[in-house]
Amino acid sequence: MAEEAILGFLQNNDEISDSGQFAAEHNLNHDEVKNVIKSLQGFRYIEAKELKRETLVLTDEGKKYAEEGSPEFHFFLAIPEEGSISKEDLEKNLDASVFKIGSTQAAKKKWVAMGKQVSRKVQHVEDKVKESLLQIQQGLELDKENLTSLKTRKLIVTQGWTGYSDVKKGPNYAPKRKIFATDLTRENLQNWKELEFKEYNFNAMGQPLDAGHLHPILKVRKQFKDIFCQMGFEEMPTNNFVESSFWNFDALFQPQQHPARDSHDTFFLKAPSTTRKLPEDYVERVKQVHESGGYGSRGYNYEWKREEANKNLLRTHTTAVSSRMLYALAKGPFTPKKYFSIDRVFRNEAVDRTHLAEFHQIEGLICDRGLTLGDLIGVLKEFFKRLGMSELRFKPAYNPYTEPSMEIFSYHEGLKKWVEIGNSGMFRPEMLQPMGLPEDVRVIAWGLSLERPTMILYGIDNIRDLFGHKVDLDLIKRNPICRIGIESA
């Protein structure tokens, strides 16, 4: 419609001087006219200049006055020509807003004398406001004083308007638009003589690809998994978020009074609140070692309670899985093993920039005869070197299930300081012997969070941007698919 009108008009006329006017005269929608001009201009059928104007439009209140007259005018009319009327009566006779606005404006214009009684000061008034508003509606000019007063009364507002001027024939002008072939299809190539092909626009931006994005945690997890696999580790099955206190704590020689076993630190399950099955003979040996020791240990000397061990919880560390795996391993003839896992753990913690109530833990362990602390240090050095962390330091630490225990620190080039990256140790005989592992079997193990190295590697300083319900989706889309040189991060 608009396209035919514009091309047809230019066949017999030199130019369209104002697209707005043209639209009005031809009964067309101006937005449509603008779109057509833009597109015809792109194909150089026509030339056009952009036109920007400020126009005045009436607000809802302005429209009302243009139709019905201004409140001051109505206020004036409500006062008798001779004598006066009481303010109360006026208020009764008039609309609330007409009374309120009308009285102020009429007094300001010195049309009326206000007091307890209200009377006219002049014989005759003209509703200038209504007149001016009607003029604006018709697109007529108005003097400045009038304009400002209507603006301050918020009866009119300025609105930006865009259109086109100087719309003329272009080099490719034709009264009807040719349809260009845009694609190199088989049919188009067969009919190439009859067709005209659209020119290529080499500057056009391609469509952004609507592809999925890997989360940084997934990418770093893959990296850790690859390192473990290259070093000959097998993955442990971690598909149980719900665990019993027994495997999460008791089997690990963690006493039942330990603060970590408090509901302030651990999420306990309401339903099902307890586990149904535990290996009874092993439970008995665990109870023994807690209460009175054995295997060269004095134990903790307290009364071990089965109810505590039965309580279900969301596992607080993947070491719960390690304890299940080692128990299973102890059942058969002994074979050395290298195990790893990377999965989710849960802690009842206050959430802040560096802590979440659920996160991922990376865990590695080696189980063999005669392992020493030297083996642990050597394996850790090799493991972290493959991540690009070649400078490590160890600090003595405490875990209920390891002795000795070591915190692992790495020198962070970016932060120029030593940062704690993990925890490690040799599992205690009080943990391994009740399982039934041979006496000379030692287990070296370590654990770390997946989020921490991910944040360091991807330069993220708020863990909530990375994981959880406030995750920054943009950050996930933007971050690189791979990083070349882990050290440079």
Stretch that binds ligand PHE, among 17-25, 103-111, 138-146, 444-452 (CB under 6 A): 444-452
The owner of tokens 């971050």 is 479
What secondary structure, in 3-state letters, does 107-125 show?
HHCCCEECCCEEEECCCCC
Stretch that binds ligand PHE, among 149-157, 196-204, 256-264, 421-429 (CB under 6 A): 421-429
CB of 183 to ligand PHE, least distance (A): 59
Contact call for residue 379 and ligand PHE (CB under 6 A): no
Contact call for residue 452 and ligand PHE (CB under 6 A): no
Contact call for residue 447 and ligand PHE (CB under 6 A): yes
- Considering only 423, 429, 430, 457, the residue that binds ligand PHE (CB under 6 A) is 423
Contact call for residue 323 and ligand PHE (CB under 6 A): no
- Considering only 103, 244, 399, 410, the residue that binds ligand PHE (CB under 6 A) is 399
- Considering only 223, 245, 402, 410, the residue that binds ligand PHE (CB under 6 A) is 402
Taking the least distance from each CB to ligand PHE, the nearer of 103 and 323 is 323
- Considering only 392, 432, 445, 455, the residue that binds ligand PHE (CB under 6 A) is 445
Total residues binding ligand PHE (CB under 6 A): 11
Whole-angstrom distance, CA of residue 17 vs CA of residue 25: 12
Taking the least distance from each CB to ligand PHE, the nearer of 6 and 365 is 365
346-365: contacts with ligand PHE (CB under 6 A): 363
- Closest among 409, 226, 237 to 324, alpha carbons compared: 237
Taking the least distance from each CB to ligand PHE, the nearer of 19 and 454 is 454
Contact call for residue 103 and ligand PHE (CB under 6 A): no
DSSP state string for 217-240 = HHHHHHHHHHHHHHTTPEEPP---
Contact call for residue 424 and ligand PHE (CB under 6 A): yes
CB of 404 to ligand PHE, least distance (A): 10
Whole-angstrom distance, CA of residue 358 vs CA of residue 347: 6
**CB 169, CB 46: distance < 8 Å:** yes
* Angle, alpha carbons 481-483-489 (nearest 5°): 135
Taking the least distance from each CB to ligand PHE, the nearer of 131 and 420 is 420
CB of 396 to ligand PHE, least distance (A): 13
Contact call for residue 319 and ligand PHE (CB under 6 A): yes
The stretches of 292-428 forming alpha helices (DSSP H) are 306-310, 319-331, 373-385
Taking the least distance from each CB to ligand PHE, the nearer of 70 and 424 is 424
Residue 197 makes CB contacts below 8 A (sequence gap 6+) with: 180, 181, 182, 188
CB of 359 to ligand PHE, least distance (A): 10
Whole-angstrom distance, CA of residue 434 vs CA of residue 444: 17
- Closest among 222, 227, 223 to 381, alpha carbons compared: 227
**CB 31, CB 37: distance < 8 Å:** no
- Considering only 317, 428, 442, 452, the residue that binds ligand PHE (CB under 6 A) is 317
Please return the burial class of 374, using the count of CB atoms within 10 Å of its CB with bins 0-12, 13-18 and 19+: exposed
The owner of tokens 């009377």 is 119
Contact call for residue 238 and ligand PHE (CB under 6 A): no
Taking the least distance from each CB to ligand PHE, the nearer of 58 and 450 is 450
Taking the least distance from each CB to ligand PHE, the nearer of 120 and 315 is 315
Stretch that binds ligand PHE, among 65-73, 141-149, 261-269, 440-448 (CB under 6 A): 440-448
Contact call for residue 256 and ligand PHE (CB under 6 A): no
Whole-angstrom distance, CA of residue 360 vs CA of residue 350: 17
β-partners of residue 332 are none
Whole-angstrom distance, CA of residue 354 vs CA of residue 359: 11
Whole-angstrom distance, CA of residue 291 vs CA of residue 307: 15
Whole-angstrom distance, CA of residue 181 vs CA of residue 183: 6
CB of 322 to ligand PHE, least distance (A): 7
Stretch that binds ligand PHE, among 50-58, 76-84, 441-449, 478-486 (CB under 6 A): 441-449
- Phi/psi of residue 206, nearest 5 degrees: -75, 160
Site of interaction with ligand PHE (CB under 6 A): 317, 319, 363, 399, 402, 423-425, 445-447
